A and B are shown apart, each in its own frame.
Chain A
């Protein structure tokens, strides 16, 4: 069964450093998403992406965040200057279209120290 895959599974970074979280969506999917989940809290929407541009973004997704689809398979989330409060599990998701379910990756646990 096809899966959304994310790398790395765990990333530790120093405050102020840039991080790039990588995702490979399911191959025939066209809609891509990033969510985050702070430990013990709900899953929160960050950004959605379709047709090579951002469709929606939340208040969390400020100027420190960016997304990119550098080639036909990868979908990346970059945090330019990490803060302690960016520590969370980051989930990538993809869906075939806007009317079908979103499949989640296994997540990247980001720890900012």
Chain B
């Protein structure tokens, strides 16, 4: 089955700096890679996702890059703000091209702290 590794486990940055979180996956059949933000005690919320037919996607201060050859994908947050502080999870799935309900395999999470 799929295995997703995520680094670092904790990340502290100064407000305004950039943050980068990296994930690797093992199953070359995976074709959908979402990133979730989870604030303490709350539900995971999708912040950005990327499908295997593109290499990069950007949404305001958040971007994700995908390298299918190396099987890794990264989340980039620019101009970080204190409200970006949360746990970020990457995930992988091969559900995009199938008609069945495919699981998300999550990374272990990164606790991001943005220091004011």
Q: How far is the CB of B69 from chain A (nearest CB, A)?
A: 23
Number of interface residues of B (CB under 8 A): 26
| Nearest A-chain residue to B4, judged by Cβ | A42
Considering the chains assembled together, what is the distance between the CA atoms of A104 and B36 in angstroms? Answer: 10
Q: How far is the CB of B93 from chain A (nearest CB, A)?
A: 9
Number of interface residues of A (CB under 8 A): 26
Contact with B along A36-68 (1 / 0, CB 8 A): 000001111100111000011010000000000
Taking A43-B89, A91-B43, A106-B42 as contacts, is the C-beta distance between A50 and B100 under 8 angstroms?
Answer: yes
Among B45, B89, B100, B103, the residue within 8 A (CB) of A45 is B103
Contacts of B91 in A (CB 8 A): 43
Most chain A C-beta atoms within 10 Å of own C-beta, residue among B45, B103, B105:
B103
User: Which residues in A have some Cβ–Cβ distance to B below 8 Å?
Assistant: 31-33, 35, 41-45, 48-50, 55-56, 58, 91, 95, 98-99, 101-107
